[in-house]
Amino acid sequence: MVVAPVKIPVTAADEVTVLASRSSYDEFLPLQLYFDNDEPDRKTMGINTRKNYENLYTNYVARTADYKLNFAGPLQGTAKAEAEKNVEDFFNNNVTASWKTLNLFCSKVESALKKGIKMELEVRGRTSPLAETSYNVNLSKRRISSFVNYLKQYNSGALLPYFADGSIKVTEVAAGEDLVDQGVSDVLSDKRNSIYNPGAAIERRIELINIKLVQPKNE
């Protein structure tokens, strides 16, 4: 006779313990979100933006064909097919996949905040090596700002009250171009490699690199 396993009910206290555990967020880290060249707010030195990452993501994905044309266009035969596949893989496996992960992450964040858990998100902004260092530092800050805007507007503003009372906050690390892999082109006239090459595009991102959590005190 097969004995069915006994189901142990999950209590509210157990759920809080899980949601307040740093390891329960490991599946999301590092969460990397990708940006079109010089977005948001091109050719500005501001450190904040009104743009929301969702809109930036949608516009970026809509340019997949442009990236394929500009990166693979000059090539022929097998080389062209491989270059087009590299672009497609980047948009599918990096840009779109990370967008889906972001929404799963936000759902869990909302659940945690509703349980009284406080959290601090450490986000690092990165850029490709185009432009001056000071410009790229500010650009990486604008990218983080667009992420914060997305969080505040997520699920019709569900997280906004928690920003207002300090239950959730974002700490930024503006790395700019400091972490760019060697070999990524910084030649503006060579747009095929400095903008449309997936090797350059992958550098234009922000990364959620750490989460600090504070479990509510038992009353």
The total domain count for the chain is 1
Q: Does residue 72 fall inside a structural domain?
A: yes
Question: How many whole angstroms separate alpha carbon 138 and alpha carbon 43?
Answer: 11
- 136 and 176 Cβ atoms separated by less than 8 Å: yes
Q: What are phi and psi of 205, to 5 degrees?
A: -155, 165
Q: Domain containing 103: what range?
A: 12-214
Q: Does residue 4 fall inside a structural domain?
A: no
pLDDT in single tens digits along all 219 residues of the chain: 555 554 445 455 678 888 888 898 999 999 999 999 999 999 999 999 999 999 999 999 999 999 999 999 889 999 999 999 999 999 999 999 999 999 999 999 999 999 999 999 999 999 988 888 899 999 999 999 999 999 999 999 999 999 999 999 999 988 767 677 777 878 888 999 999 999 999 999 999 999 999 888 764
What does DSSP assign to residue 95? I
Q: Does residue 146 fall inside a structural domain?
A: yes
Q: Does residue 71 fall inside a structural domain?
A: yes
Rounded to the nearest 10 degrees, how much is the dihedral formed by the CA atoms of 206, 187, 82, 127?
0
